[in-house]
Amino acid sequence: MSKTLTSDLLRQLPKTELHCHLDGSVRPETLLDLARAQKIKVPGENADELRDYMHVQGAASLEEYLARFEVTISVMQTAEAIERIAYELAEDALKDGVTYLEVRNAPVLNIRRGLTLPQVVEATVRGLDKAEKDFGIMGRFIVTSLRNLSPAISLDLAKLAVDFKNHGVCAFDLAGGEAGYPAADHAEAFAYARNNNLAVTVHAGEGYGAGSVEQAVHKCCANRIGHGTRLLEDAELTQYVTDRQIAIEICLTSNVQTKAAESYQAHPFREYFDRGMSVSLNTDNRLMSNTTLTDEYAHANKELGFTFDELTKVAINGFRSAFIPWKERNRLIADAEKKIASLKTKFA
């Protein structure tokens, strides 16, 4: 039985956040403020009511979980709103012990009131850059497409991501409901990103079985897998992913919410770690899951028996899997290992 770790210790642990949706991580106070300024009706008269509504509890499926996003997207149609939300997310992440953050979003959802796709990206990057200047947290943006969109739109979004490569964008991604929307349909977009030396990650194995992960790995050539919860249904594919150290972006709470895992205890994260897979912990959506990264580490400790030493390895995995140049990763890893050594002495 592992020792129960304090929130203070887990918060101080230097961490990455590699799987975090911009439109799923808006502060309730900001959501209410933006809605009032834009004269948009939201389901709550105050921040607490709005927080309660946006916290998804008892969703029957991934699709039901995703329905809440329409509320946040409705206020994310101006450059100022997008920049503010990105900036505040980075600030919140830093308070959570995150020193490197990757934020993802589908810009195609933010052009309803006149913004162009490049303007959406520029606003997000401005927010992250401002946070880096003000707080010291390094932030990058992952341009995301959606499975239910046409492959042509995904290709346009991949081209957008490549256009901003080295200007705040670090990768291309595919999200959305998996059932009936195979990743293979979007293979051309992923080929474009890879052929232009841009990293790629794919949501897979969350709302559908191991076959979804297989397409992400073999048809889209993913460098990382978002969720991958049902990967274990295919033993050979699991071994393939393990052998090649394709990183898995684990999101415990949201997986329980969407029924990808029946409970924290039933989540395959522990087995993945014990097999030697490259796994990191992430929030997915801080608002809809009512969680922080410290909470996710606490769940791993309390529900899955992870020790502090094991969680430090998970944290370092995150830095090793970051979509930034290897030299920068090594610097972040060295800084994290130094802080971890200090924490071990302090809390011994």
Distance CA 199, CA 340 (A): 28
346 compared with 124, residue with greater pLDDT: 124
What would the mean pLDDT of 101-116 be, rounded to a whole number?
Answer: 98
pLDDT digits (tens, 9 = 90+) for 89-101: 999 999 999 999 9
Active site residue 88: no
Q: Of 210, 259, 201, 255, nearest to 236 (Cα)?
A: 210
Residues 6+ apart with CB under 8 A from 292: 92, 96, 283, 286
Phi-psi region of 114 (alpha: psi -120 to 50; beta: other; left: phi over 0): left
* Res 1: pLDDT: 54
Is the pLDDT confidence value at 252 over 60? yes
What would the mean pLDDT of 18-42 be, rounded to a whole number?
Answer: 97
Q: Which of 122, 178, 206, 296 is catalytic?
A: 206
Token readout for 46 is 């105050």
| Contact status, residue 248 vs residue 241, Cβ threshold 8 Å | yes
